[in-house]
Structure 1
Amino acid sequence: MTKIIGLTGGIGSGKTTIAKYIETKGIPVYIADERAKIITNSPEILSLIKEKFGQDVFDNDVLNRKKLANIVFNHPKQLKQLNQIIHPAVKLDFDIWLQNHSKFEYVVKESAILFKSNNFIKFYITIAVVTPLPLRIERILLRDNTDKAEIMKRIDNQLSDNELIEKCDYVIYNSELDISLMQVDAILKKLKIK
């Protein structure tokens, strides 16, 4: 049976960079956020979003993610409603992906909300990627077209690094990439993955 490694961390922690490194070791990686963006563009999901949030979050029938994010990250009830639309679809997508990768001994599921989505029970191990807050903010400012206030709203909607450290089996401290990758290699070695 395929063992699932849960990989998590807050926005800007570098978890996707770590996930892509693990993938170079021959371990399939499911990046939940990337898949959620694809799934969100399906006609069924777009219809549910339009039904719940109205035409205001669309520009010429194209979902305006920034408008939607502005609503959900300012109103926890709205975020919960969006999650009720997206999470079941992502779970189903992951289950299908997992079936398609069942020949592998290990796979990785990378998700910022690994513990919030109540699916961590089936993980073989869990790994947290943690990074000092100023570095996370700097990374997000460089990557995303947003401001510090919006970043803080998103961070406030996620588990803190301390909570992740407490919940996870392993922790990768991701301030310097080369040191972080050495930590990944050490974890993989413990799992007898080279």
Structure 2
Amino acid sequence: MKTIGITGGIGSGKTVVASLLGVMGIPVYIADEESKKLTDSSPIIRQQLTALFGSDLYTSKGLDRPLLASYIFGHPERLEKVNDIIHPEVNRHFLQWVKQQESDLAAIESAILFESGFDRIVDVSLMVYAPRALRIQRASKRGTASREEVERRIQSQLSDEIKKERANYVIYNDDIRAIIPQTEAVIAAIRRG
């Protein structure tokens, strides 16, 4: 089985591409959703985070995300420590998940594929690219974040140019080129490759 890492910044359309893969019968692991579940359920993550920040970090409902955010906001060294706890567990969970799939391909979708090191556990990487202005427009329309928050998130992640250089494949989601034929072509190339 070959594994694919799908990435792209906020508003790029990586979730659309992940959905297309799902329609094509390719199972996709959504790293953001799974990492949230793991922070609540993994005893390893819980033990290491509470050792770092104290037992009040967890409630009966799981991780107190706003409290964790308050501890790491503006403290890149703390964020790095948290990532060093969570990312290896997500890696392990993904690799276990892959073993359970019955397909020739499986994928992981992650906005921080390269930053997290998830790119090292997949066979190929696929970046979904959209121009910055279009990404900001799309993400702002969702209503979950203000334009300023979207721009801050874009600036906090690896630049699209670096992601494009590091990715094995790029799909352009620019409202000019059709995304479905590009996705089909990339999957065909990966299967041949």
After TM superposition, the score normalised by the length of structure 2 is: 0.83
The verdict on how the C-alpha distance between 1:144 and 1:85 changes in structure 2, with shifts beyond 3 A counting, is farther
Residue 100 in structure 1 maps to residue 100 in structure 2? yes
The 8 Å contact of residues 7 and 128 in structure 1, kept in 2 or not, is answered as yes
| 1:129 aligned partner, one-letter code | V
Residue 80 in structure 1 maps to residue 80 in structure 2? yes
1:122-161 alignment, distance < 5 Å? 122-143=121-142, 145-161=144-160
Moved more, 161-170 or 66-75: 66-75
The 8 Å contact of residues 6 and 110 in structure 2, kept in 1 or not, is answered as yes
The 8 Å contact of residues 74 and 153 in structure 1, kept in 2 or not, is answered as no
2:26 matched residue in structure 1: 27
CA deviation string 1:151-175 (max 9, x = no partner)? 3332222111100110111111113
Distance 1:80 1:168 in 2: 23
- SS at 2:116's partner residue? coil
2:68 matched residue in structure 1: 68
Distance 1:32 1:21 in 2: 17
CA-CA distance at 1:52 after TM superposition:
2.5
CA deviation string 1:132-152 (max 9, x = no partner)? 222222333343633333333
Distance 2:160 2:54 in 1: 35
Moved more, 82-91 or 136-145: 136-145
- SS at 1:115's partner residue? helix
Is there any run of 5+ residues in structure 2 with no aligned partner, and where?
Answer: none
The 8 Å contact of residues 28 and 108 in structure 1, kept in 2 or not, is answered as yes
Distance 2:142 2:66 in 1: 14
Moved more, 37-46 or 139-148: 139-148
- SS at 2:117's partner residue? coil
| 2:117 aligned partner, one-letter code | N
2:52 matched residue in structure 1: 52
Moved more, 56-65 or 76-85: 56-65
CA-CA distance at 1:54 after TM superposition:
4.5
| Identity, % of aligned positions | 39
2:9 matched residue in structure 1: 10
- SS at 1:17's partner residue? helix
Distance 2:68 2:147 in 1: 18
CA-CA distance at 1:35 after TM superposition:
0.6
Considering only aligned residues, what root-mean-square deviation do their CA atoms show, in Å?
2.7
After TM superposition, the score normalised by the length of structure 1 is: 0.82
Residue 182 in structure 1 maps to residue 181 in structure 2? yes
2:119 matched residue in structure 1: 120
Is there any run of 5+ residues in structure 1 with no aligned partner, and where?
Answer: none
The 8 Å contact of residues 5 and 118 in structure 2, kept in 1 or not, is answered as no
